Structure 1
Amino acid sequence: MIVLEILIFTILFWIIKYFWDHRRFYYLASKIPTSAFDFSFSGIYNYLTADPKMMLKLVNGSFDNKSDIAKTWLGHVLFIIANNPDDIKTIFNAKQCYDKPSFIKFSAKMEKGSLFGELEYWRSHRKVMNPFFGYQGLKAVIPIFNEKTKILMKSLECMVDKEAFNIFHNMTALTLETILKVMEYDVDIQNQEAKSRDVFIKNLENFAKVAFLRMFKPWLHPNIIFKNSKLYKVQQQSMSNCAMVFTNDIIENIRTNTNNNEDEKSKSFMEAMLNPKNNFTDNEIKHEVHSVVLAAQDTSAIASSMMLLLLAIYKDVQQKVVDELHQVFGKKRDTPYIEFENVNELVYLEMVINEVMRLYPVVPFIVRQVDEEIVLGDKYRIPVKATVVVPISRIHKNKKYWGDDAEEFNPERFSKENFAKIHPYAYIPFAKGPRMCLGYRYAMMLMKIQLANFLMRYEVDTDLKLDELEFGVQVTMTVCQGYMIKIKDRKY
């Protein structure tokens, strides 16, 4: 009995001590309006057991509030939801908010690339990689983008005038091949038979989903099994080992083809990371490969697939895109070689891309950790260790900033004249500020080349209706039915 009393007293003592030590944290939190999100036991249970479709509803439900600033709790974790572009500007640019939340740092023990890594880790890697995503770096990869896109055009010939198919699988294979070739590792994925290709892609998706779930459900530690695939056959392995079984091959291939001379100018960011003067370990390089592939492959493939699906629904917009392509390249069915200068000429296509990413952002929200107190909403002081959430999917559809037709598809809102009237932080598909997506120019250029080639050669259609589309989220926001389209040769 005495032991039990001591145990109870000890527990109560530490609970009281915890709240006393964190009294300012809870005091500042109490001043912030509360979100409508249900953080009771049942609400948390629903969150932890949600499938992708329900997860998106719960996430949007927690963001759907009238206040510019609102809070919600998940256990002891305080989430601050910022709905005002001025506050979002502060969050993206303030040094107090550069870092990722602690629960993502937990995940970083599994993956330490730029996608998940801590602040100092990110800074050192970004410094090395930045030069390769500038003007000269983008020009250098144009031939790769064209080469891989031509393979896609050829591989789709067997689908002309056939039943609907999920273009996402093709776009994923294309994007993955392209990214790996940029990293100087050429692998044939697009020409594999569909079953082997799709199993390989599914394994990558599984890794990404588990990585995301581990951020919010850290007790999960499942193994991923790469099933029989003509590309890679791997027995049951730990998640971190099987994320990219060819990572060692990539590194060894680049080492074999470079001198690794400290004074030699690197041709790619992979060469730069392998350069001894940058002092990166093999594990750091492997994690960076994983980060680049996971960040670029899935997001670019989803965005391109969504654009084709919407163009199949909005035939008038599809025709306007084709008219612009004809003005730039002439009326010809052959896949054009798109030069760097041509990319900037595709103004209307870029408007369409922007509108699709506004309505259907691949990443629906971004989270940052507050390392020093910061003021948002002109009056709310956000406590240290709070997690700030930027709800991209809600900001992009906020009628206050986009007008009464905010939920309608209208590429014209991104014309130079119309977009100039929009708050610059009301459109943030790649985030903004020092820690924005490093490859956003890369992604835009890649999508333009992919879509331009596709629409010059094929007319796209679908049986899906816009109001029938269902969305879900784990790592990224996707269409639950798949990106089901039909294609036929474009007539000239």
Structure 2
Amino acid sequence: MGQNIITFPFLFVPGQKWKNRRKQLNPTFNLANLVSFFPIFNTIGNSLADKFDVLAKGNKDVDSDHDNQINYKTIEDFINRAVLVAACRTTMGTTTNFLDTDDEGIVEAYKVLFKISSVKSYKPWLQLKPIFKMSKLYKIDVKYNELIDMFVKKIVNEKNEIWKENRENNKSREDDDFEGTTVPPVTRRNFIEHIFHLAENGELTMQDIEDESSSMILAASETVSNSLSLLLLCLASHPDCQHKLQQEIDETLNGAEITIGDIQNMKYLDMVMNEGLRLMPTIPMLLRNVSDDFYLQKDVVVPKDTFIIIDTFHIHRDRKLWGPHAEDFYPEHFLPENAASRNPFIFLPFCRGLRFCIGWRYSLFLAKVFLVKILRNYHIETNVRLKDLKFISGISLKVKDKKNVHFTVSKR
């Protein structure tokens, strides 16, 4: 096995290497590719909605002591599994059944490895291999990395054989169709197809492919599922906002399938999504290494190679920046007239600048489709107030004491 494959390349690798890899992978997140994923998003979203149907019929969560209420962890788990299915399908072209079963423990492995990566983010000494080997986490890390390694290797090898076969067949057809011309055909590739193409050109190794594939699946599934779970919590505690969004959904959708046009036409959905990301940012802090000396203020110099942390969570809740509703769930923050006069660098759910998240549109499209699928059919309430919640901050924001947070799900 190679290095630890859960490495979060877009978070931790040095500047130049990151720039090169970003340039290589940018084409896989173009709009045409993302639009082609909507049938997949719809199909998996329907399966997720079916899970909520079970909850609406009064299937009490085994961890809950409250009749007719569902523990937060149950909803979070359903969403996490659905997003992981979508991530495998769209990035790797692989169909999985994680919403119904996890016989091999893949879902659990990704959860545990993400937790370990979170611990490393606020205990940086654990990023030193000799020290990490002495910690209790090391054996757990090795065990689950080996499991994910086998899972990803199997998919990559199978997809590589199929890709090579299709490549030869397509090349033969292209030679026939374009003989005597210099105009190449336009090719649309998903993530796994694109990195096979990069490997064919000598830009990536097979180990690079396995590392990037696993990291991409984990990064996509963790960030989307976490933001969607937190947003449902916001809406469950604000029934007026939930009702207003459901009205917009009912007025916009004409058929069973959600299109990109539907998503773009739902302006209140956009406001709600942004407000959820503001109040409970999936990535609560941004880690950066300073590449050159710069002036933070006139007489304050931040020297080269300084490690800095940008506190997204508290920037998003600063009353000086956001006004009297800074700590409330208040979608009106994102009315056009309010957003127009605001400094764009006080809203950082996907970062800003060169390291702006490569998958931001993917994340928003998938989260919005799943949210619409749920709220089109179900009403959700909770027993908690947002101001009473406490959070655990690591790579991603987590609710503390989840066992005390419950939902009631009812059919609309």
Q: TM-score, normalised by structure 1?
A: 0.70
Secondary structure, in 3 states, of the residue corresponding to 1:408? coil
The answer as to whether partners of 2:284 and 2:396 remain within 8 angstroms in 1 is yes
Pick aligned residue for 2:261 from 341, 345, 360: 341
Go from structure 1 to structure 2 and tell me whether the alpha carbon gap of 1:237 and 1:403 turns closer, same or farther (over 3 Å shift).
Answer: closer
Aligned to 2:179: none
Aligned to 1:95: none
Aligned residue identity for 2:226 = I
Pair 1:127-2:23 in alignment: yes
Aligned residue identity for 1:186 = T
Separation (CA, whole Å) in 1 of partners of 2:250 and 2:5: 50
Aligned to 2:299: 379
User: Which whole-Å deviations, capped at 9, do the CAs of 1:416-449 have from their partners, x for residues lacking one?
Assistant: 1111121110101110112111001111111110
Pick aligned residue for 2:89 from 181, 198, 221: 181
Gaps of 5+ in 1: 1-106, 226-235
| CA apart distance, 1:289 | 1.4
Separation (CA, whole Å) in 1 of partners of 2:347 and 2:142: 40
The answer as to whether partners of 1:336 and 1:453 remain within 8 angstroms in 2 is no
Aligned to 1:413: 333
| CA apart distance, 1:112 | 7.0
Secondary structure, in 3 states, of the residue corresponding to 2:398? strand
Pair 1:270-2:185 in alignment: no
Pick aligned residue for 2:75 from 125, 144, 167: 167
Pick aligned residue for 2:34 from 135, 138, 147: 138
Aligned residue identity for 1:396 = H
Aligned residue identity for 2:27 = P
Secondary structure, in 3 states, of the residue corresponding to 1:487? strand
User: Which whole-Å deviations, capped at 9, do the CAs of 1:216-272 have from their partners, x for residues lacking one?
Assistant: 1322233455xxxxxxxxxx9455433453111221232122125698835212111
Larger helix proportion of the pair: 2
| CA apart distance, 1:389 | 1.8
Aligned to 1:220: 132
Aligned to 2:204: 280
Pair 1:154-2:50 in alignment: yes
The answer as to whether partners of 2:132 and 2:138 remain within 8 angstroms in 1 is no
Separation (CA, whole Å) in 2 of partners of 1:208 and 1:348: 32
In the comparison of the two structures, how many residue pairs are matched? 367
Pick aligned residue for 1:249 from 140, 144, 154: 154
RMSD: 2.4
The answer as to whether partners of 2:271 and 2:334 remain within 8 angstroms in 1 is yes
| CA apart distance, 1:358 | 0.6
- Identify the range of structure 1 (243-252 vs 142-151) with the bigger mean alpha-carbon deviation: 243-252
Go from structure 1 to structure 2 and tell me whether the alpha carbon gap of 1:353 and 1:191 turns closer, same or farther (over 3 Å shift).
Answer: same
The answer as to whether partners of 1:114 and 1:291 remain within 8 angstroms in 2 is no
| CA apart distance, 1:466 | 2.5
Aligned residue identity for 2:9 = G
Go from structure 1 to structure 2 and tell me whether the alpha carbon gap of 1:108 and 1:401 turns closer, same or farther (over 3 Å shift).
Answer: farther
| CA apart distance, 1:139 | 0.9
Separation (CA, whole Å) in 1 of partners of 2:37 and 2:311: 32
Aligned to 1:392: 312
Aligned to 2:108: 202
Pick aligned residue for 1:402 from 311, 315, 322: 322
User: Which whole-Å deviations, capped at 9, do the CAs of 1:450-487 have from their partners, x for residues lacking one?
Assistant: 11110011111122232332211233111123363221
Separation (CA, whole Å) in 1 of partners of 2:315 and 2:41: 32
Aligned to 1:191: 100
The answer as to whether partners of 1:164 and 1:462 remain within 8 angstroms in 2 is no
The answer as to whether partners of 1:169 and 1:201 remain within 8 angstroms in 2 is no
Alignment of 1:261-340 (within 5 A): 265=187, 267-275=189-197, 276-329=200-253, 336-340=256-260
Secondary structure, in 3 states, of the residue corresponding to 1:258? helix
| CA apart distance, 1:291 | 1.9
Aligned to 1:258: 163
Pair 1:350-2:270 in alignment: yes
The answer as to whether partners of 1:207 and 1:243 remain within 8 angstroms in 2 is no
The answer as to whether partners of 1:173 and 1:189 remain within 8 angstroms in 2 is yes
Aligned residue identity for 1:213 = V
Separation (CA, whole Å) in 2 of partners of 1:154 and 1:405: 36
Secondary structure, in 3 states, of the residue corresponding to 2:258? coil
Q: Which has the larger radius of gyration?
A: 1
Alignment of 1:97-112 (within 5 A): 111=7
